[in-house]
Amino acid sequence: MEKHLISRCFTFFILLFCFTYSQFYRGAELRTLEPVLYGKFEVRYKPAQGEGLVSSFFVYNDDFPNTSWVEVDVEILGRFPNIVDMNVITTTSHLRTHYLSMDTHLDFQVYGFEWTPEYVAWFINGEEVYRQTASHIGDLVNPAKIMMNIWNPTYDDWVGIWDDRVLPRFAYYDWVRYASYTPGNGDTGTGNNFTFQWQDDFDEFDNSRWEISNNHTWGGNQALFIEENALFDNGYLILCLTDDENIGYQDQEKPHLLWARANADSIIVQFSEELDPETSQNVSSYTIPGASIASATLMENQRTVHLHVEDMILTEAYTLYIIGINDDADPPNNQVAQSVNVDMPDPISFPLKVNAAGEEYNEFLPDQLWSSAVEYGHMNGNYQITDESIWNTSQEPIYQTSLNRVVSYKVRVPKGIYSVVLKLSENHYNEIGSRSFDVFAEDSLWISNLDVFQHANIHTAFDTILNAIRVEDGILDLYFSAINYGAGYEYAGPFLNGIEVHLLEQLSINTNHPKDYLLSKPFPNPFNNQLSIPIDLKSESYVKIDVLNIKGQIIKNIYSGSLLPGYHNLKWNANKAASGIYFIRLNINNKNQYEKTILLK
């Protein structure tokens, strides 16, 4: 956002203080010289990774406050690999933290939005993913400039806790495209209602179209925008976030070890920046007294290393030492030596119950921020409390406190199948449609457009269950995306009052059981009507294969009985099933294995 929502509430004196107070960081911003009213706006860019920062593409009326606020955003935070903020801001905010199954930081993607008098719709790689049509769209009546920037906000409940060891950070923009709004007479966009006007491939700076912000900032921004931090190189616009000394497109900072977290026979190591693949995957670059390191693998984001560790006792304390690791700069910067205490697991007991916005209460644990050092916690949001009585519960304190604007809730769990109880009470809005949101578990949408008031009225406890969630990677991930955001800041967006996590079935760490059988991936996936389920048995076995829906309910038994050793290809004819996500459960000699599949019709 050009200015965060809270900054509107600052008084003149606070703004004066923010502008005159010394700022230690330097950001960058590019904006068009001329504003436009309505249109289709697209960008192909790769945002910056890192806690506490944002890389954006948006339109904004910089004539405010002479004319009314107009802003439409695509904002990608460095802390979330799979979240895109999609916002309309007028006199009120209408925000969505849109969940994606891909990592936005790994490569260039095309993001965009259509702005018309009737709607604003957002697109990713040409596909519409979200749309707003409510009355606030009619308030977007003033022309706005096309802008891009990179900055580090002061709002850690939005972007995470700032750590300047991640500097420098860079956002890369490949091109920007604009089409005017010409309803009924266009050549692109929804209904061909837009007419292509121009595309800038950033081969060079076009000073007839753009200006670079210089010595510009606002309250809530820790960075001062300077022209040296926006440059054009090799066909890209590069926006830089730096300290106040090493400005511009350069990296003279060695990679820093931020944290390390143990789990079973592995340690996940997080670095401040992208690493050189050779030194980061050299086992001799790492030492853990009391344990041995078998291998080191640089993960896809190039900032995280997975260490396979032997002889590690999870009840003991360990320190990780690194030596001689380079970043990916040219020439590389070398971290001569650094150490960090390894965060060791403290396994939770089930059922896990958390007061998601308050202190410990009876069997409910207190809420906390998610980090490498904890077993559960939330990302983003703020707490609110009401003194009003809550109906339909004997656990009033759980429902009187609420975690608002929550983006994600995470729990470290063994590999298994889980049910989750979301405990909710709408304590602010008293009209249907004022606040609603989607709920995602792992990589799937589980609840669409949940309006708690519609289900239970105001100040009334309402529990909803997500059943049979399969967790493979050791972390149960929940994400929340607003449909109707609400109003204001404190009481807005998706919310939680409490959460329960129940273990339904713990899965074997090695689910393939190669000595007994092998269930290969069902194919094709996704499929249309007929699915093949290949099984390779090493010995005669009793086999049962069921199809489960996302609620964990058995909708079809494919086979029950003995099978001889060898290869078998069983079939599921799904012509009577609806499109959606299903799980194939294979039970052989009382051992279960699950595979997810998607039916598309």
Give the whole-angstrom CA distance, residue 490 versus residue 495. 11
Question: 93-99 and 230-233: which strand pairing?
Answer: unpaired
Can you list the positions of beta strands (E) in 136-291? Answer: 145-151, 169-181, 194-200, 210-212, 223-225, 230-233, 236-243, 257-263, 266-271, 286-287
**Do you find a cis peptide bond into 331, omega within 30 degrees of 0?**
yes
Query: How are the residues of the chain apportioned to helix, strand and coil, as percentages rounded to the nearest 5?
Result: 10, 50, 40
Give the whole-angstrom CA distance, residue 72 versus residue 456. 33
Give the whole-angstrom CA distance, residue 401 versus residue 541. 53
Cβ pair 459, 389 in contact under 8 A = yes
**Do you find a cis peptide bond into 351, omega within 30 degrees of 0?**
yes
Look up residue 97 and give its two tokens.
């933290």
Burial state string for 513-543 with b = 16 or more CB within 10 A and e = fewer than 16: eeeebebeebeeeebeeebebebebeeebeb
Is 274 assigned a catalytic role? no
Look up residue 64 and give its two tokens.
């405010």
Cβ pair 78, 47 in contact under 8 A = yes
3-state secondary structure of 472: coil
Place of tokens 């199954």: 101
Cβ pair 270, 234 in contact under 8 A = no
Count of alpha carbons within 13 Å of 135, Cβ hemisphere only? Answer: 5
How big is the chain, counted in residues? Answer: 601
Give the whole-angstrom CA distance, residue 134 versus residue 92. 12
Q: Which of 2, 29, 42, 71 is catalytic?
A: 71
Q: Which of 75, 253, 274, 500 is catalytic?
A: 75
Cβ pair 381, 479 in contact under 8 A = no
Give the phi and the psi of residue 138 in degrees, each rounded to 5: -70, -10
Cβ pair 219, 212 in contact under 8 A = no
Count of alpha carbons within 13 Å of 432, Cβ hemisphere only? Answer: 3
Give the whole-angstrom CA distance, residue 115 versus residue 270. 39
Look up residue 166 and give its two tokens.
């991640």
Is 75 assigned a catalytic role? yes
Give the whole-angstrom CA distance, residue 114 versus residue 193. 10
Closest CA to 68 of 146, 140, 145, 147: 140
Give me the DSSP letters along 249-289. S-------EEEEEEETTEEEEEESS-B-HHHHT-GGGEE-T
Active site residues: 71, 75
